[in-house]
Chain A
Amino acid sequence: AQSVTQLGSHVSVSEGALVLLRCNYSSSVPPYLFWYVQYPNQGLQLLLKYTTGATLVKGINGFEAEFKKSETSFHLTKPSAHMSDAAEYFCAVSGSGSARQLTFGSGTQLTVLP
């Protein structure tokens, strides 16, 4: 069984400030971890993913995340927020088997203040 907890349903940051969105997971098998972004009235777009290898992964739009097995965390960061980053962000976990399914967290709405 797998689950994801995203701490903070709403996060506000000022433009240019650090973005930190928190994600903790639970998985009975080695996890694959994902961050997706959803803009209003659109589908989900993959930001980045961790499967195996390097625990610090870089994604699109300047985002990165670090897989910390000991903390069961996969927090998303961006050094400097831009107005265009305002969106909803979802953390998700899947197993590494062939019947790959995503289990999502409840999402974090990011607001960027001018």
Chain B
Amino acid sequence: EAGVAQSPRYKIIEKRQSVAFWCNPISGHATLYWYQQILGQGPKLLIQFQNNGVVDDSQLPKDRFSAERLKGVDSTLKIQPAKLEDSAVYLCASNQGASGNTIYFGEGSWLTVV
């Protein structure tokens, strides 16, 4: 079974530029998450989707971050304009949904803002 796929793995951008990360969850997983992990900290939830609907985006900085999951499968997380403090690993994860209690993570997309 293929795992959660993310790309790109690494990205370096200048502040005020934009960046987009892509995630393809495990096949059949209805729930998709984006987490932000700043160096030395635990992951923090940014947004949770159930199919193509948003369940929770309360911690997403909506002035610069956006995310979509238009067809209920893959998802894109965008940052525009980026700030230095956005340097982090962006982890995508997925879960079967109501019947699944394990959340599986991708390898992460490492962002450095200079």
Query: Chain A interface (Cβ within 8 Å of chain B)?
Result: 4, 32, 34, 36, 41-46, 49, 51, 90, 92, 94, 96, 98-107
B41/A106 in contact, CB under 8 A: yes
A101/B42 in contact, CB under 8 A: no
Among residues of A, the one whose C-beta sits closest to the C-beta of B99 is A98
A43/B108 in contact, CB under 8 A: yes
CA distance A53 to B100 in the complex (A): 16
Task: Say which size band chain B's interface belongs to.
Answer: 20 to 34
Give the most central of B33, B98, B103, B110: most A CB within 10 Å.
B103
B23-47 Cβ-contact flags toward A at 8 Å (1 or 0) = 0000000010100000011111100
Q: Would A42 and B33 be within 8 Å (CB), given that A90-B43, A104-B43, A107-B41 are in contact? A: no
B68 at the interface (CB under 8 A from A): no
Q: CB-CB < 8 A to B103: which residues of A? A: 34, 94, 100, 102
Among residues of B, the one whose C-beta sits closest to the C-beta of A102 is B103
B45/A42 in contact, CB under 8 A: no
Contact of A32 among B48, B50, B101, B108 (CB under 8 A): B101
CA distance A82 to B96 in the complex (A): 33
B89-114 Cβ-contact flags toward A at 8 Å (1 or 0) = 00101010110111111111010000
B42/A100 in contact, CB under 8 A: no
Q: Which 8 pairs, one residue from A and one from B, show the smallest C-beta to C-beta distance? A: A104-B42, A44-B105, A98-B98, A43-B107, A43-B105, A43-B108, A106-B42, A104-B43
Among residues of B, the one whose C-beta sits closest to the C-beta of A4 is B42
Q: CB-CB < 8 A to A98: which residues of B? A: 97-98
Contact of B33 among A4, A43, A101 (CB under 8 A): A101
CA distance A102 to B105 in the complex (A): 12
Among residues of A, the one whose C-beta sits closest to the C-beta of B97 is A98
B45/A101 in contact, CB under 8 A: yes
| Further contacts, 16 of them, CB under 8 A, given A100-B100, A101-B33 | A36-B105, A44-B91, A45-B105, A46-B104, A49-B101, A90-B42, A90-B43, A94-B103, A100-B95, A100-B101, A101-B48, A102-B103, A104-B43, A104-B44, A105-B42, A106-B40
